[in-house]
Amino acid sequence: MNLMFAEDSAFITWLSKVITISRTFIRGAISNLLVCGIVMSKTLVVRKSLDKKTRQHLLEAMHGEAFAFVKYMLFSEAAKKNGHAKLAELFEKTAKVERFEHFAEEAELLGLVSSESKNLSDAIEGESYEVTTMYKEFAEEAKTCGDLAAAERFSEIRKDEMSHLAAYKAALESI
């Protein structure tokens, strides 16, 4: 059974570029953080029994699994929309394995989840970075390059991240 899409080559080409850029960005960011000796978050609880390289590999694997989950769910939605129910089911089934088995098992090994206050502090740190650095710089660079739709999207997402940050801060103050 051939599960290839027929002729939406423009969409597939665009999506392939997005995936390649995202993978490159994620790998580069992880490599930069790991070279600097940073383990993604100051508040991340990492089991001390794991070797440093093993922790690095777990973090990289988790990023890959999380990206695969979201990507495959998007592929599933597209397949459903295009009338390919079996292909949609394949993508969704695989996505769930990536998230609910692979990612979850790796997160457990890493000790990703901690107390509510530490989890909130970690979330605050991540959202703060996205608001103050990541999306702000991405929007500015996209605008400079003339990629106005991307600049607008980054700015819009940054506003969403601001509300996430405020909600996490309020939740932390309440416990």
pLDDT of residue 76: 98
The verdict on pTM exceeding 0.85 is no
How far is 117 from 168, CA to CA, in rounded Å?
Answer: 10
With a CB cutoff of 8 Å and minimum separation 6, the contacts of 132 are none
Query: What residue ranges of the chain have pLDDT lower than 70?
Result: 1-48
Contact 69, 93 (CB under 8 A): no
Which tens digits make up the pLDDT trace of 88-121? 999 999 999 999 999 999 999 999 999 999 999 9
pLDDT of residue 49: 85
